[in-house]
Chain A
Amino acid sequence: MASSLSETRIGHDAGAHPARPIRWGNCLLSGYAMLVYLFLYGPVGLLVLLSVNNSEVIGLPFRGFSWRWYETVANTPELVHAIVNSFAVGAASALAATVIALLMAMGFRSDLPLRNVIVKMLLLPILIPGIVGGAVFLVFFGVVGVPLGLWTTVIVTHITWVLPFAFLTLFPRLHNFDRSLEEAAMDLGARPIIVFQRILLPLIWPGIVSTLLFSFTLSFDEFVRTLFVIGDERTIPVHLWVLITNQMAPFLPAVGVIIMGTSIAISLIGFAVSARSSHSGTEQ
Chain B
Amino acid sequence: MKDRTGTADKSRIDGASQRNRVKALLLVMPGVLWLIAFAVVPIVFLGIMSLWTSTIFGLSKTLTLDNYRSVASAPAYLLVLWHTLLIAAATTLLALIISYPMAYFLSVLKGRRKTVAVVLLFMPFWTSYLVRTFLWLPMLGRNGLINQALMRLGIVSAPIDWLLYNEGAVLLGLVYVYTLYMTLPIYLSLDRLDPKLLEAAADLGAGPFRALWRVMVPLSLPGILSGCIMVFLLACGAYVTPQLLGGTRGVMFGSIIAAQYMQTNNWALGAALSVILVAVVFLCVFTIGRRVRLNEVFLGVRN
Within 8 A of B (CB), among A134-182: 134-140, 142-143, 156, 159-160, 163, 167-168, 171-172, 175
Q: Report which residue of A11, A59, A240 has the largest number of chain B beta carbons within 10 angstroms of its beta carbon.
A: A59
The distance in angstroms between the C-alpha atoms of A220 and B301, with both chains bound, is 30
Q: Report which residue of A22, A127, A172, A228 has the largest number of chain B beta carbons within 10 angstroms of its beta carbon.
A: A127
Contacts of B31 in A (CB 8 A): 100-101, 103-104, 118, 122, 163, 167
Whether A131 lies near B137 (C-beta < 8 A) is: no
Within 8 A of A (CB), among B91-115: 98, 101-102, 104-105, 108, 110-111, 114-115
The distance in angstroms between the C-alpha atoms of A33 and B106, with both chains bound, is 9
Convert B16-52 into 0s and 1s, putting 1 for each residue whose CB lies closer than 8 angstroms to a CB of A: 0100110111111011101110111111011001000
A contacts, CB < 8 Å to B: 1, 4-5, 8-12, 14, 16-22, 25, 29-30, 32-33, 36-37, 39-41, 43-44, 46-47, 50, 57-61, 100-101, 103-104, 106-113, 115-116, 118-132, 134-140, 142-143, 156, 159-160, 163, 167-168, 171-172, 175, 214, 217, 220-221, 223-224, 228, 237, 240-241, 244-245, 248, 252-253, 256, 259-260, 263-264, 267-268, 271, 275
With CB as the reference atom, state the residue of chain A lying closest to B183: A36
Whether A50 lies near B39 (C-beta < 8 A) is: no
Whether A135 lies near B30 (C-beta < 8 A) is: no
Contacts of B72 in A (CB 8 A): none
Whether A139 lies near B46 (C-beta < 8 A) is: yes
Whether A137 lies near B42 (C-beta < 8 A) is: yes
Give the top 3 A-B pairs by smallest Cβ distance, nearest first.
A129-B237, A59-B143, A107-B27
Interface size class on chain B is 35 or more
The distance in angstroms between the C-alpha atoms of A124 and B278, with both chains bound, is 11
Contacts of B126 in A (CB 8 A): 214, 217, 263-264, 267
B contacts, CB < 8 Å to A: 17, 20-21, 23-28, 30-32, 34-36, 38-43, 45-46, 49, 98, 101-102, 104-105, 108, 110-111, 114-115, 117-124, 126-132, 134-139, 141-145, 148, 176, 184, 187-188, 191, 195-196, 198-199, 202, 208, 233-234, 236-240, 243-244, 254, 257-258, 260-261, 267, 270-271, 274, 277-278, 281, 294-295, 298-301, 303
Partner of A135, one of B35, B132, B240, B271: B271
Contacts of B17 in A (CB 8 A): 111
The distance in angstroms between the C-alpha atoms of A32 and B145, with both chains bound, is 22
| Minimal beta-carbon separation of B179 from chain A (angstroms) | 8
The distance in angstroms between the C-alpha atoms of A109 and B28, with both chains bound, is 11
Whether A124 lies near B239 (C-beta < 8 A) is: no
With CB as the reference atom, state the residue of chain A lying closest to B275: A132
Contacts of A168 in B (CB 8 A): 298-299
Contacts of B131 in A (CB 8 A): 47, 237, 240, 256, 259-260
Whether B43 lies near A275 (C-beta < 8 A) is: no
Contacts of B24 in A (CB 8 A): 106-112
Known: A40-B124, A121-B36. A9 touches B135 (CB 8 A): no
| Minimal beta-carbon separation of A244 from chain B (angstroms) | 6
Contacts of B238 in A (CB 8 A): 131
Partner of A123, one of B237, B281, B298: B298
Whether B129 lies near A129 (C-beta < 8 A) is: no
Known: A112-B24, A163-B35. A60 touches B145 (CB 8 A): yes
Whether A19 lies near B202 (C-beta < 8 A) is: yes
Contacts of A104 in B (CB 8 A): 27-28, 30-32
Whether A124 lies near B39 (C-beta < 8 A) is: yes
Whether B27 lies near A103 (C-beta < 8 A) is: yes
Whether A21 lies near B295 (C-beta < 8 A) is: no
List 21 A-B pairs, Cβ < 8 Å.
Answer: A4-B300, A5-B118, A20-B108, A36-B102, A40-B121, A58-B143, A60-B145, A61-B148, A104-B31, A108-B28, A111-B24, A116-B303, A119-B299, A128-B278, A129-B237, A131-B239, A132-B237, A139-B267, A171-B299, A223-B128, A237-B128
